[in-house]
Copies of this chain bind each other. A is one copy, B any other.
Amino acid sequence: MDLSERKKRILTAVVESYIATAEPVGSKALAGQIGCSSATIRNEMSELTAMGYLEQPHTSAGRVPSPAGYRLYVNELMERQKLSEAEAAAINDKLAKKQRQLDQLMSEVGQLTSTMTQYPAYAMAVRPPAAVKRFDFIYVDANTFIVVALLTDNTVKNKLVHLPFSVHQEQVTTLSSLFNANFTGVTDQEITGDLIRSTERAAGDTYGLVAVVASFTMECLAAAKAAPMRVAGASQLLSQPEFRDPDKAHALMNFISDGSRLMNDLPAVAPEQNGLRVTIGPENLAEELKDSSVVMASYDAGDGMRGYIGVVGPTRMDYSSVAAKLSYIAAGLSRLLAGSDAPAGLDNKLVLKESEHHE
């Protein structure tokens, strides 16, 4: 299966030229680059075609890489590219303004990835199952209290509860000890009707409030588990010549705009190299992605969380540059979210988590 050195050079040149121009590559164009005549290249190319690395759109056009050709290119031939200083600086700049909310951070990262790569991008974070570490109840007035829950992943959630009847300070305190006793360290699935009922039995005159706080707890845990998934720059597709056909563009855009569908099909089986995973055309599971490629990178989001960022584009994607950019961004995110080399400002050391919410 090993290709001669010259075949490799030719395949590389075909892939890179096709990536750059979206035009089938002819033998003449390569003659200069490779250093032999076009006839020789023609012979080599026809062998590469027989081996399945190149394809001919029609008898007398140039050659185009096949999915297998791209695969070989990605795995063995392509050079690991470095970012220009300007690009690296742009990424660092953006990441430096760290966001408080995970959702928002994902949006920003998706945006960043998309503008850097010129392809549609997505960003997501996966969280491990969480539990509540402690509850606090803040008594506001006779009809109002706030529940604050500190989760194992160090997020804080809260809820303002407004009652149609009044409660005493002591009742809220009771509620607090009850929940700290029964609902801490408990995961999603472990909150059963039984647990709620037994807590209600123990609750005395505050039993009516147990259900409310319990459902809040379940929501917290569910929300902590849900992975925020953001897609950005879908319209970038339209600048790619392969999507000049509005129907194709529409189909793919619909697909990628729906985060949940995209999410399902992402963990496609594909070799992972240096934290990067590339799925090319037909390697993708989703029908909609069969003529497209996906490049994704994973990052360490701290607290046992793992995140992914990725890019969707035509199979004729600039893998080398996209891979470099994704790696860089992923590394930056790992550093930002989980890294030990945090910057020195007071702000960074002190402020770890913050919570916001509105009905």
Interface residues of A (CB under 8 A from B): 98, 100-103, 134, 136, 138, 140, 146, 148, 150, 153-164, 209, 211-212, 215-216, 219-220, 223, 233-235, 238-239, 243-244, 246-247, 249-250, 253-254, 257, 346-347, 349-359
Contact = CB atoms under 8 A, between A and B. Distances in A.
Main SS at interface, chain A = mixed
Contact of A356 (B98, B215, B223, B349): B223
Contact of A352 (B162, B235, B254): B162
15 contacts: A100-B359, A101-B357, A146-B150, A156-B160, A156-B357, A158-B356, A159-B351, A160-B352, A216-B351, A234-B234, A235-B249, A238-B247, A238-B250, A239-B250, A353-B359
A352 B161 contact: yes
Task: Count this chain's copies in the assembly.
Answer: 2
A225 to B, nearest CB: 13
Contact of A354 (B138, B157, B238): B157
Given A158-B355, A350-B163, A354-B357, A238 B246 contact: yes
Nearest to A354: B159
A148 B158 contact: yes
B357 A353 contact: yes
